[in-house]
């Protein structure tokens, strides 16, 4: 059970796709990961990704993030909203009150 969560990080996916030639189709990503002896969970994460051509590793990571349900982006979105709200409040309070 210790290996159950190992494939869920972007670092694990990129590690097993190291050296792949881009552009690459999803099936190419899977074949390369298998060749690199990726764990089953890594292969499952790649399998969940959109079936299309990927231009580079950043493109793969964007798709990987979307397939994870946007958990991380949802958190950063909330942080941005909070920061944006604070910045807006700061600006409205920066007018001199004489």
Q: What is the mean pLDDT of residues 43-65?
A: 93
- pLDDT bin (cut points 50, 70, 90) of residue 25 is very high
32: in domain = yes
Nearest 5°: phi and psi at 45?
Answer: -65, -40
> What pairing do the DSSP bridges indicate for beta strands 53-54 and 24-25?
antiparallel
Q: With cut-offs at 50, 70 and 90, classify the pLDDT of residue 53.
A: very high
- Under 8 Å between Cβ of 21 and 29: no
* Tens digit of each residue's pLDDT (9 = 90 or more) over 74-98: 433 433 344 444 444 444 455 555 6
pLDDT, tens digit, 9 for 90 and up, residues 28-49: 999 999 999 999 999 999 999 9
**Is 51 part of a structural domain of the chain?**
yes
The DSSP output letter for 54 is: E
Residue 90 lies in a domain: no
Helix, strand, coil abundance in the chain, percent, nearest 5: 65, 5, 35
**Structural domain contains residue 83:** no
Phi, psi of 36 (to 5 degrees): -85, 10
Q: Is residue 19 one of the residues assigned to a domain?
A: yes
53, part of any domain: yes
pLDDT above 70 for 72: no
pLDDT at 55 over 70: yes
Q: Could you list the residue range(s) of the whole structural domain that residue 14 is in?
A: 1-68
| Total number of domains in the chain | 1
Q: Does residue 16 belong to any structural domain of this protein?
A: yes
Establish if 43 belongs to a structural domain. Answer: yes
Instruction: Please tell me the predicted confidence (pLDDT) of residue 71.
Output: 46
């Amino acid at each position: 059970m210790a290996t159950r969560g190992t494939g869920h990080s972007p670092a694990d996916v990129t590690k097993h796709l190291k050296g792949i030639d881009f552009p690459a189709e999803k099936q190419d990503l899977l074949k390369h990961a298998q060749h690199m002896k990726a764990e089953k969970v890594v292969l499952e994460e790649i399998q969940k990704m959109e079936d299309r051509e990927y231009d580079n590793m950043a493109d793969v990571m964007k798709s990987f993030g979307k397939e994870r349900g946007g958990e991380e982006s949802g958190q950063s979105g909330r942080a941005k909203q909070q920061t944006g709200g604070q910045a807006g409040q700061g600006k409205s309070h920066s007018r001199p009150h004489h």
